[in-house]
Amino acid sequence: MYSKPMNKYIFSKIWYFFFVIAFLSSCNSIVLGGNIDSLKLADNEAVRIDSIRISGNDITEEFIILRELTFQIGDTVSGKTLKYNRERVYSLRLFNHVEFIIHNELDFNILEI
């Protein structure tokens, strides 16, 4: 069998391998703000924003989130613009996860942040 120093060496390499795998799998959520793209809109598609609803936020004032947006209620924005704005909100470093979801209720487009 292997000697004790060889067992330690193999164990350290296996531990390092699993550590790297765990770190890389968590990087996706660090960089993107989530494991799934919550925005189901292609970059070149456009949608009119009729209302903005902020949910899941108990601490941060709404105006802090809203001031990061480069559009206003009533504007027509592309998927690319929405993704850019989602990253702006996430870059505040106040949130672990930021989702932009478009709800269409009675031909009324609501952006939920």
For the stretch 35-94, pLDDT in tens is 345 667 788 889 999 999 999 888 999 999 999 999 999 999 999 999 999 999 999 999
How would CATH label the architecture of 46-112?
Answer: Roll (3.10)
Helix ranges, 1-113 (H):
4-32, 62-66, 79-90
Provide the 10 A C-beta neighbour count for residue 85: 20
Question: What pLDDT, on the 0 to 100 scale, is given for residue 36?
Answer: 45
Cα–Cα distances (Å) from 52 to 4, 13, 21, in that order, read 62, 50, 38
Confidence bin at 4 (pLDDT 50/70/90): low
Tokens representing 92 are 């505040």
pLDDT at res. 5: 67
| Residue 14, pLDDT score | 78
Indicate whether this model's pTM tops 0.85. Answer: no
Query: Comparing 17-21, 60-64, 88-92, 103-107, which segment has the lowest mean pLDDT?
Result: 17-21
Q: Residue 27: pLDDT above 70?
A: no
SS3 label, residue 28: helix
DSSP-assigned beta bridge partners for residue 47: 77
Residue 21 has pLDDT above 60, yes or no: yes
